[in-house]
């Protein structure tokens, strides 16, 4: 099928099924261009609740579709490719988390949204990269077990006096961005502002002029007076950055920062999802209810 025919069928089926396409900022450019909303993990979770739709097709990874279902179980949530996972989310299991909780009985468990529903259910509160600082500040406890991203955990520890225990998880895509990459890019573009995602290593973040979620990076770049930016996150971000700020220049800090599972939601896969209803993402009700508490506490900690 030709791409214009695919797009025409997608739009017909969306109307027929009252469906919306939510795309993460790392989704394929052509998918972003045909989505109802493009955003960071936080905006997409909020949209899952707020949007008046019967069906959500998630152009992102598994934990995002799961979060949408947890928050809005009356909607049908589809992940176009069931194999689109997040390796970092798989770095913490419920069993391992239960063991760690025994080791730190007084700590509140804060879990990054990049985690399974079962891990969210076992945690006290969830956070995204857009609100981790506010979430940590809002909880009563002064001791925190932060899972699974050690880099985000480390970054938050620089913004709070609370004691944070880190998990040994990381995003493989951000982890391979090195300090050498940053210094090389800065030498090549000495006037550029360096904006980084907090999933980057501490030695990368220490050179950043701004540390934000994906949506935060896009917003900052659009509003800034500066014209040149080195971008410390996944490459597909270039698409929205250039679309929103066509008169500015953006340089990816590393050409290797590419999240392949985020690219599995192709236009043909989205069409197939709308046609077949595959793959439907659900969570067992007992886990969903507990995981929802963690997500609700996060949403309550951040003003809308």
Which residues here bind ligand 13P, judged by CB under 6 A?
A: 25, 40-42, 86, 114, 128-130, 171, 197, 199, 213-214
For residue 47, count other CB atoms closer than 10 A to its CB.
19
For ligand SF4, the closer of residues 63 and 69 by Cβ is 63
**Residue 259: partners with Cβ closer than 8 Å, 6 or more residues away:** 26, 173, 234, 236
d(CA 88, CA 109) in angstroms, rounded, equals 17
Among the listed residues 278, 274, 270, the one whose alpha carbon sits nearest the alpha carbon of residue 33 = 270
Q: Quote the CA–CA distance of 69 and 77 in Å, as a whole number.
A: 6
Binding segment for ligand SF4 (CB under 6 A), chosen from 27-35, 96-104, 259-267, 284-292, is 259-267
Applying CB under 6 A, the span of 7-15, 166-174, 176-184, 245-253 interacting with ligand SF4 comes to 166-174
Stretch that binds ligand SF4, among 13-21, 85-93, 157-165, 245-253 (CB under 6 A): 85-93
Tell me how far, at minimum, the Cβ of 234 lies from ligand 13P, in Å.
Answer: 7
Q: Closer to ligand SF4 at the Cβ: 65 or 107?
A: 65
How far apart are alpha carbons 230 and 192 in whole angstroms?
A: 6
Q: What is the distance between the alpha carbons of residues 221 and 199, in angstroms, rounded to a whole number? A: 19
Query: What whole-number distance in Å separates Cα of residue 103 and Cα of residue 112?
Result: 20
**Least Å from the CB of residue 103 to ligand SF4:** 25
Site string for ligand SF4, 94-123 (x = CB under 6 A): --------------------x---------
Q: Closer to ligand 13P at the Cβ: 175 or 279?
A: 175
Residue 86 binding ligand SF4, by CB under 6 A: yes
Burial of 255 (0-12, 13-18, 19+ CB in 10 A): exposed
- 256 vs 284, beta carbon nearer ligand SF4: 256
Q: Which is nearer to ligand SF4, 175 or 294 (CB)?
A: 175
Is residue 234 close enough to count as binding ligand SF4 by CB under 6 A? yes
Residue 122 contacts residue 92 (beta carbons within 8 Å):
no
69 or 112, CB closer to ligand SF4? 112
Is 40 a binding residue for ligand SF4 by CB under 6 A? The answer is no
Contact 144, 157 (CB under 8 A): no
In 144-284, where does DSSP find H-type helix? 150-157, 172-175, 179-188, 202-205, 214-223, 237-244, 267-276
- Tell me the sheet residues that pair with 193: 229
- CB nearer to ligand SF4: pick between 10 and 218: 218
Q: Is 68 in the site for ligand SF4 (CB under 6 A)?
A: no
Instruction: Give which of ligand 13P, ligand SF4, none residue 87 binds (C-beta under 5 to 8 Å, depending on kind).
Output: ligand SF4
How many whole angstroms separate alpha carbon 119 and alpha carbon 256? 29
**What does the alpha-carbon distance between residue 225 and residue 125 come to, in Å, rounded to a whole number?**
36
Q: Which stretch binds ligand SF4 (CB under 6 A): 8-16, 83-91, 268-276, 285-293?
A: 83-91
The CB-side HSE value for 37 (13 A sphere, CA atoms) comes to 21
Q: Considering the rule CB under 6 A, would residue 173 count as an interface residue with ligand SF4?
A: yes
Three-state secondary-structure class, residue 58? strand
Residue 279 interaction partner, one of ligand 13P, ligand SF4, none, beta carbon < 5-8 Å per kind: none
Residues that bind ligand SF4 (CB under 6 A): 26, 61, 86-88, 114, 171-173, 199, 234, 259, 261-262
């Amino acid at each position: 099928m030709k791409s214009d025919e695919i797009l025409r069928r997608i739009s017909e089926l969306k109307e027929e099924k009252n469906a919306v396409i939510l795309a993460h900022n790392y989704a394929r450019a052509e998918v972003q261009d045909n989505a109802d909303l493009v955003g960071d993990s936080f905006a997409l979770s909020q949209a899952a609740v707020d949007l008046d739709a019967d069906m959500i097709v998630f152009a992102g990874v598994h934990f995002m579709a799961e979060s949408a279902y947890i928050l809005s179980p009356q909607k049908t949530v589809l992940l176009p490719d069931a194999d689109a996972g997040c390796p970092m989310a798989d770095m913490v299991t419920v069993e391992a988390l239960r063991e760690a909780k025994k080791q730190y009985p007084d700590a509140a468990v804060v879990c990054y949204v990049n985690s399974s529903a079962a891990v969210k259910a076992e945690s006290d509160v969830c956070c995204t990269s857009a609100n981790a600082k506010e979430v940590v500040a809002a909880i009563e406890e002064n001791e925190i077990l932060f899972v699974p991203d050690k880099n985000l955990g480390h970054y938050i520890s620089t913004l709070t006096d609370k004691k944070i225990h880190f998990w040994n998880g990381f995003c493989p895509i951000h982890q391979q961005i090195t300090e050498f990459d940053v210094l090389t890019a800065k030498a090549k573009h000495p006037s550029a502002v360096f904006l980084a995602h907090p999933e980057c290593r501490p030695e990368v973040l220490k050179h950043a002029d701004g540390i934000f979620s994906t949506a935060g990076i896009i917003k900052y770049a659009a509003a800034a007076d500066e014209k040149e930016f080195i971008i410390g996150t996944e490459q597909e971000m270039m698409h929205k950055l250039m679309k929103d700020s066509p008169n500015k220049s953006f340089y990816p800090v590393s050409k290797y920062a590419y999240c392949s599972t985020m690219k599995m939601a192709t236009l043909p896969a989205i069409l197939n999802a709308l046609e077949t209803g595959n793959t439907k993402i659900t969570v067992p009700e007992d886990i969903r209810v507990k995981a929802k508490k963690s997500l609700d506490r996060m949403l309550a900690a951040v003003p809308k």
